[in-house]
């Protein structure tokens, strides 16, 4: 029998706490999932999120969220919702902190650019890149041959951070692992139902949606990118954006009902002039909306599964349809007014061009153009395909600022 600290969550097994490489703790007093959380917090990749785009350009003003602040807020939501359902809080926080680590510079625009470039050699997907980073790129533990196995997190934490537990062969647009990383992915998914996400990953995904939808609205109102009085007249466009990008089977009736429900909340701003009174009201709105969406999921799930610890594959997170519609509509606001805005398109085109030029020039000037993280992988690469994957890894790791700086250094102008 293995003796564990008294505060170890007994709903998880030794199998769940196993690491790809056995790595006993250097000191007692922390759970295995607390060790995972610490490793992610101290990672280079997490720090870099501070200068990566969430939705708004990070340096356009001091207010909008970055990928890091979004990840921290997602982690707070996920930790509390997970704990309410019996999931380990440290595991949940780790999964939420890790969920965007693989996203490249310039947000989803950068992801689309790299996906086009990598189409012929395995593709690019932010979630698969996150898994690659956790299990390969972020060097914390190495095997007997000196090869990195990434942060060497526990099986349960890696599984909780896996939003799409399948390869590009199942879905070439949304997938969670590259062919190169299949071995450790198979280890993570051992005995798991094929294609099914664990409840911790479902909680992480919903927490991401909640944080994203609520906080992007707050950012857009404060920075003047959304006028609260325009929502009703623009509802047809918001609805179409929601259907195209967030909830494909949303109906027009559901969209109208979602907007009416949100506007009927006591905290919903009838106007917004950026005064202290209205800023305080907006902060109250974000708090109440997060509570509304998290509590709805908790109650619906508990109503179906009852009491007890709901972990791994013992349950699914259930979210009422009304709240899914509200979150989709909120997400569509940033989608329509910011992401799809005409003035954003020129910037997006320039960013995609910059990404493409970076991949080309980094490949041409490698290995001198590579950071130390990628030199060993470059030396091990036995084919042009493998070398291009290393270049993609390098470019994807850059911050927005770092991408511009490296472009200036290698190309100029």
DSSP per-residue string spanning 162-195: -SS-SBTTT-SSS-SB-GGGHHHHHHHTTTPPTT
Q: Encode 34-49: b = buried (16+ Cβ within 10 Å), e = exposed.
A: bbbbebbeebebbebb
CA-based nearest residue to 181, from 127, 128, 219, 241: 128
What is the token pair recorded at 117? 């470039």
Residues β-bridged to residue 334:
none
What is the mean pLDDT of the segment spanning 210-222? Answer: 91
Tokens 């097994």 correspond to 13
Domains delineated in the chain: 14-188 (1.10.3210.10), 199-343 (no CATH), 344-410 (no CATH)
- Lowest mean pLDDT across 35-39, 290-294, 307-311, 336-340: 336-340
For residue 80, count CB atoms less than 10 angstroms from its CB and return exposed for 0-12, middle for 13-18, buried for 19 or more.
middle
Tell me the whole-structure pTM to 2 decimals. 0.95
pLDDT score for 58: 58
15 pLDDT above the threshold of 60 = yes
Confidence class for position 28, pLDDT limits 50, 70, 90: confident
**Number of neighbours of residue 273 by Cβ within 10 angstroms:** 8
For 373-413, the pLDDT digits (tens) are 899 999 999 999 999 999 999 999 999 999 999 999 999 75
Q: Any residues with CB less than 8 A from the CB of 375 and at least 6 apart, and which?
A: 367
For a pLDDT cut of 90, what percent of the chain falls above it? 80
CA-derived radius of gyration, the chain: 22
For 255-265, the pLDDT digits (tens) are 999 999 999 99
User: Please, what is the average pLDDT of the chain?
Assistant: 93
Concatenate the DSSP letters of all residues of 54-108 into one string.
SSS-TTTSSSS-BHHHHHHHHHHHHHHHHHHHT--HHHHHHHHHHTTTT--TTHH
For helices 199-222 and 276-305, the axis angle rounded to 10 degrees is 160
**125 to 60, 142, 178, 252, 323: CA distances (angstroms):** 26, 25, 9, 31, 27
Among left, alpha and beta (phi > 0; psi -120 to 50; other), residue 86 is left
Q: Any residues with CB less than 8 A from the CB of 78 and at least 6 apart, and which?
A: 92, 93, 95, 96, 203, 204, 207, 208
1 pLDDT above the threshold of 50 = no
pLDDT score for 55: 66
CB 44 within 8 A of CB 61: no
For residue 9, count CB atoms less than 10 angstroms from its CB and return exposed for 0-12, middle for 13-18, buried for 19 or more.
buried
């Amino acid at each position: 029998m293995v003796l564990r600290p008294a505060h170890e969550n007994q709903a998880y097994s030794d199998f769940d706490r196993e690491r790809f490489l056995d790595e006993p703790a250097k000191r007692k007093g922390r759970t295995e999932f607390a060790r995972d959380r610490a490793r992610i917090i101290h990672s280079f990749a997490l720090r870099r999120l501070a200068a990566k785009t969430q939705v708004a350009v990070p340096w356009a003003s001091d207010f909008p969220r970055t990928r890091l602040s979004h990840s921290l807020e997602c982690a707070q939501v996920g930790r509390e919702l997970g704990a309410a359902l019996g999931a380990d809080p440290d595991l949940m926080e780790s999964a939420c902190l890790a969920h965007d680590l693989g996203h490249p510079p310039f947000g989803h625009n950068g992801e689309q650019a790299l996906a086009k470039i990598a189409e012929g050699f395995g593709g690019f997907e932010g979630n698969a890149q996150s898994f690659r980073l956790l299990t390969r790129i972020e060097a914390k533990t190495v095997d007997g041959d000196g090869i990195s196995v990434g942060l060497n997190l526990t099986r349960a934490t890696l599984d909780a951070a896996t939003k799409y537990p399948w390869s590009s062969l199942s879905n070439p647009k949304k997938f969670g692992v590259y062919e190169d990383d299949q071995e450790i992915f198979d280890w993570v998914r051992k005995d798991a139902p094929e294609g099914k996400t664990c409840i911790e990953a479902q909680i992480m995904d919903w927490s991401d949606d909640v944080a994203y939808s609520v906080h992007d609205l707050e950012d857009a109102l404060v920075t003047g990118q959304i006028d609260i009085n325009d929502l009703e007249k623009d509802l047809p466009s918001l609805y179409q954006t929601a259907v195209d990008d967030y909830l494909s089977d949303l109906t027009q009736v559901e969209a109208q009902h979602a907007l009416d429900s949100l506007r009927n909340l006591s905290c919903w701003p009838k106007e917004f002039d950026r005064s202290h009174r209205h800023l305080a009201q907006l902060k109250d709105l974000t708090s109440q909306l997060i509570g509304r969406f998290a509590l709805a999921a908790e109650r619906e799930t508990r109503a179906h599964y009852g009491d007890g610890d709901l972990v791994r594959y013992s349950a699914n997170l259930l979210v009422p349809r009304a709240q899914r519609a509200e979150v989709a509509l909120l997400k569509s606001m940033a989608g329509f007014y910011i992401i799809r805005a005409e003035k954003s398109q020129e910037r997006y085109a320039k960013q995609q061009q910059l990404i493409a030029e970076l991949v080309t020039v980094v490949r041409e000037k490698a290995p001198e153009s590579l950071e130390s993280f990628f030199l060993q992988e470059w030396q091990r690469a036995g084919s042009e395909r493998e070398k291009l994957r290393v270049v993609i890894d390098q470019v994807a790791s850059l911050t927005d600022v770092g991408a511009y700086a490296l472009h200036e250094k290698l190309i100029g102008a």
